[in-house]
Amino acid sequence: HNNKYECGRHRCGPQGPPIRFPFRLKDKEPLECGVPGFDLTCDHKHNTLIEFSSSVPQLSIKLLVMEIGYETNFLYLSDPENCLASKFLKLINTSISPFQFQFYNDDGPFSISIFNCSPDEQYHFSCPVYVASDESETLLGSNLVSCTKVFNLSTKITGIDSLMKNRLLLEWPKPNCTVCEASGKQCMLKNNGSNAASVECYGSITGPMLTKKILFYIAGPAFGSLLLLLLAFMLFKSYRYFRMKGDQARSAKFLEDYRALKPTRFSYADIKRITNGFKDKLGEGAHGAVFKGKLSNIIVAVKVLNNTIEDEGKDFINEVGTIGKIHHVNVVRLLGFCAQGFHRALVYDFFSKGSLENFITTPDNNDIFLGWDRLHQIALAIAKGIEYLHHGCEQQILHFNINPRNILLDDRFTPKITDLGLAKLCSKDKSAMSMTAVRGTLGYISPEVVSRNFGTATNKADIYSYGMLLLEMVGGRKNMVTGEEGRSHILYPEWAHNLIDGGDVHVHVEDEHDIKIARKIAIVGLWCIKWDPSNRPSAKTLVKMLESDGDKLTVPSNPLTNNSSNSRGCLSLEGKKHV
Ligand SMILES: Nc1ncnc2c1ncn2[C@@H]1O[C@H](COP(=O)(O)OP(=O)(O)OP(=O)(O)O)[C@@H](O)[C@H]1O
Report CA(17)–ligand 1 centroid distance (Å).
72
Q: Which pLDDT score is estimated for 119?
A: 60
Residue that wins the pLDDT comparison between 117 and 547: 547
Q: Which pLDDT score is estimated for 351?
A: 95
End-to-end CA distance of the chain: 111
Closest residue CA from atom 17 of ligand 1 = 285
Report CA(475)–ligand 1 centroid distance (Å).
23
CB atoms within 10 A of CB 549: 9
Q: Is 351 in the pocket of ligand 1 (CB under 6 A)?
A: yes
Please report which confidence band the pLDDT of residue 213 belongs to, taking 50, 70 and 90 as the band edges. low
Chain centre to alpha carbon of residue 77? 53
Closest residue CA from atom 4 of ligand 1 = 351
Q: What is the pLDDT of residues 412-430, one digit of tens each?
A: 999 999 987 665 554 333 3
Residue that wins the pLDDT comparison between 142 and 65: 65
Closest residue CA from atom 28 of ligand 1 = 283
Kindly tell me if the per-residue pLDDT of 231 is higher than 60: yes
Average pLDDT score over the chain: 77
Q: Is 406 in the pocket of ligand 1 (CB under 6 A)?
A: yes
How far is it, in rounded angstroms, from Cα 332 to Cα 417? 6
Q: What is the pLDDT of residues 351-399, one digit of tens each?
A: 999 999 999 888 878 888 899 999 999 999 999 999 999 988 777 888 8
For residue 559, the SS3 value is coil
Q: Is 348 in the pocket of ligand 1 (CB under 6 A)?
A: yes
Kindly tell me if the per-residue pLDDT of 452 is higher than 50: yes
Interface confidence (ipTM) of the complex: 0.97
Residue that wins the pLDDT comparison between 421 and 257: 257
How far is it, in rounded angstroms, from Cα 5 to Cα 514? 98
Kindly tell me if the per-residue pLDDT of 406 is higher than 80: yes
Kindly tell me if the per-residue pLDDT of 579 is higher than 60: no
Whether the ω angle into residue 98 lies within 30 degrees of 0, i.e. cis, is: yes
Q: Which residues contact 294 (CB under 8 A, 6 or more apart)?
A: 274, 276, 300
Please report which confidence band the pLDDT of residue 347 belongs to, taking 50, 70 and 90 as the band edges. very high
Please report which confidence band the pLDDT of residue 467 belongs to, taking 50, 70 and 90 as the band edges. very high
Q: Is 210 in the pocket of ligand 1 (CB under 6 A)?
A: no
For residue 59, the SS3 value is helix
Best mutation site among 290, 399, 409, 438 for ligand 1 pocket (most ligand atoms within 8 Å of CB): 290
Please report which confidence band the pLDDT of residue 572 belongs to, taking 50, 70 and 90 as the band edges. very low
Residue that wins the pLDDT comparison between 430 and 274: 274
In this prediction, residues 529-536 reach a mean pLDDT of 89
pTM over 0.90: no
Q: Do 23 and 9 contact (CB within 8 A), yes or no?
A: no
In percent, how much of the chain has pLDDT > 70? 73
Q: Which pLDDT score is estimated for 257?
A: 80
Q: What is the pLDDT of residues 130-170, one digit of tens each?
A: 666 654 444 444 555 667 777 777 766 666 666 767 778 88
Adjacency order of strands within the sheet including 129-132: 129-132, 110-117, 147-155
Question: Which residues of 243-317 form beta strands (DSSP E)?
Answer: 264-266, 281-284, 288-295, 298-305
